[in-house]
Chain A
């Protein structure tokens, strides 16, 4: 684990010593801010209109859920931007030879890269708390739901990072790594909507829905931390970390 932490620390520092880290924070907070401002404006408008039209006013839970769905969507762009360089960049500039010739295992390298990316994205998630914080300051939302939503997003993000570094381990082209990771994460998000159309129903549809990340995330967004959904994200992450390890080992023999 020691070597994994050394690798993770270096990679994390490199995000912050280059413009990459700052750019990720900048675009993430801009996107989140713009959407948040729109959600709040709509929320205020609907609340004001509710008594006049005799309908129900929207709840703060609906607002916070909208924020988290939005966060889920923005991760489609942010996660590939972080993971694309995990291996691709070092392979392109030959710095990967340093790791290959050091007394560290492939698993330590994979864990180091995974920890670096999840740490950076963890800081990004931490920065995003400013938006739900407003709802706490100016309303009375269920804090438990907010916390479980964050746990769900974090677990999802771990799975996405594992998938992203797997893609990055197979190419030295960062752009290709970005595109394929984004495509994979997007497919995972829409799989439960596509499932009825591509499977023809039955067991296959249920399997496709189980594989889709959105189904599992929904339970966290409702404030439910279930073993089934937690295990889904943990297994998903472990599977792609294993694939990355296999990819690194197999590349020695090509």
Chain B
């Protein structure tokens, strides 16, 4: 559905994208993750034909966005980070205009407009001027223009930016409901949003693609052996020194707030884990808890982008 190969783009001396390659299969929701300025919007802009790449190709449903832009754009719906709204227009008129631009004709225009107005729950404001609507409504109107022509591929750049928690939940449900029929790429710097919504994650950092895969795959790869949490009764600092000395320990640190020691193992090295357990008991530190820590995407993201 989406094939991005060796995409590079620079703005003056700034290398915004450097040899980015990924593919997205039909029906997948892909989360595009990265800090501000990582290159998410640049990738999406290239993918949607707003800007050209210095090198590489981007294909939508097999159509190259530079070679066959009209065919590619027919199959594409884009919600940019800044909603592309005509603030002086009424909601219905705007969506109908977007539908006509995307090539819908005759009764299909009304049909699809009514459908998206209902789907996004904006039918009650359909005769209001967009400029008079709240940010949440505007974002939904912008999303309506992206899906009005029922595109095979949806590209959503930070779709929940600036929305309240209820609206975020609504947009998230909506994206999930669109997934079976559409291939969706969404970018966000809200990690829980990507973790909860997407089947596949692409992490981009300083213009380079540094990880891709399912949430479980990315976390597993980052952990490579696991992160453990140890709680003891006394003299934690002395124990940290001892743990750091064991073979196979990636790092260890003491969390002052929780009174916990966190350490990472290089592999599933249960011998080292046994040694640590013995050390705690023999040293009389008083074992209270030793658990494998489940890591959030946030932990992994910070680890691999630092």
Residues 81 to 114 of chain A near chain B (Cβ within 8 Å): 90, 93-105
Q: Which residues of chain B (50-79) have a CB below 8 Å from chain A?
A: 50-52, 69-71, 73-74, 76, 78
Neighbouring B residues of A3 by C-beta, 8 Å: 101
Chain B, 143-182, contact with A by CB distance < 8 Å: what is the 0/1 string?
A: 0010000000000000000000000000000000000000
Q: In the complex, how many angstroms separate the beta carbon of B285 from the nearest chain A beta carbon?
A: 59
Q: Is B27 an interface residue (CB 8 A)?
A: no
Flag the segment in B28-36, B81-89, B118-126 that touches A: B81-89
By a CB distance below 8 angstroms, the chain B residues around A59 are: none
The answer to whether A95 touches B101, judged by C-beta atoms less than 8 angstroms apart, is: no
- Compute how far the CA of A253 lies from the CA of B49 in the bound complex, rounded to whole angstroms: 11
Known contacts A6-B100, A101-B49, A252-B52; is-contact A93 B76 (Cβ 8 Å): no
Q: Does A18 contact B (CB under 8 A)?
A: yes
Pairwise interchain contact A14-B86, C-beta atoms closer than 8 A: yes
**Which one of B49, B98, B100 lies within 8 Å of A100 (CB-CB)?**
B49
* Interface residue A222 (Cβ < 8 Å from any Cβ of B): no
Structural contact, B84 and A103, CB atoms closer than 8 A: no
B80 at the interface (CB under 8 A from A): yes
Q: Which residues of B contact A93 (CB under 8 A)?
A: 85-87
Q: Does B102 contact A (CB under 8 A)?
A: yes
Report yes or no: B50 in contact with A101, Cβ–Cβ below 8 A.
Answer: yes
Interface residues of A in 55-94 (CB under 8 A from B): 90, 93-94
Question: How far in angstroms is the closest Cβ of chain B from A87?
Answer: 14
Q: Number of A-B pairs whose CB atoms are under 8 Å?
A: 71
Closest to B80 in A: A97
Nearest Cβ on chain A to B109's Cβ, whole angstroms: 11
CB nearest to B70 among chain A residues: A103
- The reply to whether B51 and A10 contact each other, CB–CB distance below 8 Å, is no
- Docked CA distance A10–B86 (Å): 10
Would you call A97 and B84 a contact (CB within 8 A)?
yes
- Taking a contact as CB atoms under 8 Å apart, the answer to whether A98 and B98 are in contact is yes
Which residues of A lie under 8 Å from residue B87 when comparing CB positions?
93
Residue of B nearest to A5 (CB): B100
Do A95 and B85 have beta carbons less than 8 Å apart?
A: yes
| A17 lies within 8 A of chain B by Cβ | yes
Which A residues are CB-close (under 8 A) to B48?
Answer: 100-101
Known: A6-B100, A103-B70, A105-B70. A98 touches B145 (CB 8 A): yes
Q: Which residues of B contact A17 (CB under 8 A)?
A: 88-89
What class of interface size applies to chain A in its complex with B?
20 to 34
Give A104 Cβ to nearest chain B Cβ, in Å: 6
Q: How far is the CB of A116 from chain B (nearest CB, A)?
A: 13
In contact, B52 and A103 (Cβ under 8 angstroms): no
Q: How far does the alpha carbon of A252 sit from the alpha carbon of B51 in the complex, in Å?
A: 4
Q: How far is the CA of A94 from the CA of B73 in the complex (A)?
A: 18
A97-B78 contact, Cβ under 8 Å, with A14-B89, A104-B101, A105-B70: yes
Report how far A96 CA is from B48 CA in the complex, Å: 13
Q: Are A101 and B52 in contact (CB under 8 A)?
A: no
Q: Which of B70, B80, B101 interacts with A99 by CB under 8 Å?
A: B101
CB distance from A54 to the nearest CB of B (A): 61
Q: Which of A17, A101, A252 has the most CB of B within 10 A?
A: A101
- A10's nearest neighbour on chain B, judged by CB, is B97
Given the interface pairs A6-B101, A105-B70, A252-B51, the reply to whether A18 lies near B88 with Cβ below 8 Å is yes
CB distance from B80 to the nearest CB of A (A): 5
Interface positions of B from 190 to 213, Cβ below 8 Å from A: none
B103 proximal to A (CB < 8 A):
yes
CB of B102 within 8 A of CB of A103, answer yes
Contact residues in A for B70 (Cβ distance below 8 Å):
103-105
- Measured CB to CB, the nearest residue on chain A to B73 is A103
Give the CA-CA distance A99 to B73 in the complex, in Å.
11
A residues near B83, Cβ cutoff 8 Å: 94
A contact residues around B103 at 8 Å (CB): 103
Q: Which residues of A contact B85 (CB under 8 A)?
A: 93-95
- A6-B101, A101-B48 given. 15 additional CB < 8 A pairs? A6-B97, A6-B100, A14-B89, A93-B87, A94-B85, A98-B86, A98-B98, A99-B101, A100-B48, A101-B50, A102-B101, A105-B70, A252-B51, A252-B52, A253-B51
- 20 of the cross-chain contacts (CB-CB < 8 Å) are A6-B97, A6-B100, A10-B89, A14-B88, A18-B88, A90-B86, A94-B80, A94-B83, A95-B86, A97-B78, A98-B101, A98-B145, A100-B48, A101-B73, A101-B84, A102-B101, A102-B102, A103-B73, A252-B51, A254-B51
Q: Which 3 A-B pairs have the closest CB atoms?
A: A94-B82, A97-B84, A98-B84
